[in-house]
Every structure is written in structure tokens, then in C-alpha cells.
A = this chain, B = another copy of it.
Amino acid sequence: MVATDNVQKTPPEEATFNLAAYLKERQKLCDTALDQAIPIIYPEKIYEAMRYSLLAGGKRVRPILCLATCEMIGGTIEMAMPTACAVEMIHTMSLIHDDLPAMDNDDYRRGKLTNHKVYGEDVAILAGDGLLALAFEFVAIQTPQSVNRELVLQVIARLGRALGAAGLVGGQVVDLESEGKSDISLETLNFIHQHKTAALLEACVVCGGIIAGASPEDVQRLTRYAENIGLAFQIIDDILDITSTQEQLGKTAGKDQKAQKVTYPSLWGLEESRSKAQELVQAACAELEPFGERAKSLQAIAHFIISRNN
């Protein structure tokens, strides 16, 4: 009897929600849509270079967040898929440009040679530009007519902002300026990650919500959820850079320490960084409580972010 009681007390969503299967299925949907988004036509080299990095087998956390939020608010996968593809294109473009010799000068990414190591620096720069252009074109053309046109424009504006000087690009500039300096303040570190990592994650979540017609209050909750998982995501990234091998990460490990980079673990230590990430994920999940059962996928993804090992 006691055992039966315990089983009944388990919240049904936790008992029935299989995150691994969910992520696998969504990843496959995203991979298929991304594959179809870019043909190989003349001049083949640029399309191949764009596809090389875009289809290099990322976890698709960003597009999956976008789709999951759209569904939570009451929209469909079809409504959000073009935006989901766009955020992955933008993310991939930022990786291609970040890896260039003039930037972080990285040879490996997602377990493969970086774009410029395969196609040359010139084509890698252009492949990034091409992905970026396609991201906006794709949202504008492919988003179904069932999504209000004004909302599609809001999505495009938010993607532009998340990517530009007020987002990714701004964060990367401060990151480059901070390199080799060991006296970076927590404020500066937060600025870097809020812009380099969290801004695009926030855009994924909020744009997914907007497409489904989220209310201003919903958008605020989604924003706070995204801010929290964004920071947690970065803390875990910093921890993994220390504790993982290149094989596990698919990219160069131990880079931060080698570059004497200020990171969350370098400021707080590994243990406190881990518990801070844990707190952030709990706060993120709490924001979604008003959505009840429908929030289960976004809550599970939040927990996944801090349990991942690559």
C-alpha cells in the first residue's frame, strides 16, 4: 500500500516525460529542417561550407527551446520551425566567425575541423555571412501565414538585436578586450555572458512564445526563465572547459585556463559554481509554474542544461 501511495504521489509529468526521447525526436526534426533549408547549387563551395558547420551535429538546444516554448504557449511546431532554424543558423555563424584565426583561432568544433580549416578563412567569413542572411530570409519567407505578420517582424527584430552589438557581437567584443586580463570584474564577466550566450538563448525562448501569441506577462516570465538558464548554461560551459577532455567536448578543452581567462569557476571555485547553476535552474523552473503541466519540457530542458557533459 505504501509503495502504491508513493507511486501515485509522483507528479505524472515527471513519471511520464522521457526527456532523452523528447530531445532525440526534436533534434531529428531540427536536423531535417536545417538540411532542407540549404540546397547545394552553384557556386557549390559556399553552400557546402554553410552546410558543413550547420549540419555538424550540434545538440540543437536553441531550436528545441524555441519549439518547446511555442508549444507551451499554445502554438505548433510548424509555426516556430523557421525561427528555430534561424537561431541555429545565427548560432552556427557566430561559432564560425569566433573560431577564425583573427578571433579565438580554434581548430576544432563539434568534434570536427573548424570551417576555416576546411574551406579557408575567406570562405569561412562568407559562410557565416551567408548563414546570417539566410536566417532572416528564412523567417520572413517560411513562417506560415497562420502567424500574424506583425509578430513575425517582432521575431526578426529580436533575432537582429540578440545577434548585433546589443547582443552576441557586443559580448564577443568585450570578451576579446578582456583576454589575458586577470582582473576582470564579475560585472564584466556577467556582461560578456549575458550578451554572448544568454541573449540568443533568450531570443530562442521569447521568439517561440511570441510566435504563439504570448501575452506581455508571459513574455516577461519567459525572459526571466531564459536569463536564468542562459547564465546556468555558461557556468556549466566554464566548468566543462576545466573538467572535460577535448573528446568529450568536441572542441578544444582547457582553453580558458590556458588563456588565463576569468571564468565563474575561477572566481567562485568549481563547487560553488555548480550550486549556483543549480539555483539558477530552480529559479528558471519556478518562473514557469503558472503554465502547469505544459511547462514540463522547458523545465526538463533547464535541468538537462546543467547535467550535460558536452
The listed residue (B100, B123, B126, B176) touching A123 by CB distance below 8 A is: B176
**A102 and B125 contact, Cβ closer than 8 Å, known pairs A149-B150, A153-B153, A156-B156:** yes
In angstroms, Cα B153 to Cα A157, docked, is 11
Chain B proximity of A147: nearest CB distance (Å): 11
- Measured CB to CB, the closest approach of chain B to A175, in angstroms, equals 10
Contact A102 B128 (CB under 8 A): no
Structural contact, B97 and A125, CB atoms closer than 8 A: yes
A122 contacts B by Cβ under 8 Å: yes
Q: Out of B129, B141, B170, name the residue touching A46 (CB < 8 Å).
A: B170
Contact of B43 with A163 in the complex, beta carbons under 8 Å: no
Interface size on A, residues (CB 8 A): 51
The A interface is mostly helix, strand or loop, or mixed, namely helix
Across the two chains, which residue of chain B brings its CB closest to A126?
Answer: B169
A sample of 7 more A-B contacts (CB under 8 A), given A130-B169, A134-B164, is A97-B125, A129-B163, A133-B159, A133-B160, A136-B157, A140-B156, A149-B153
Could you list 13 examples of A-B contacts with CB < 8 Å?
A46-B169, A50-B165, A93-B129, A100-B102, A102-B121, A102-B122, A102-B125, A122-B176, A125-B125, A129-B168, A133-B164, A133-B169, A141-B153
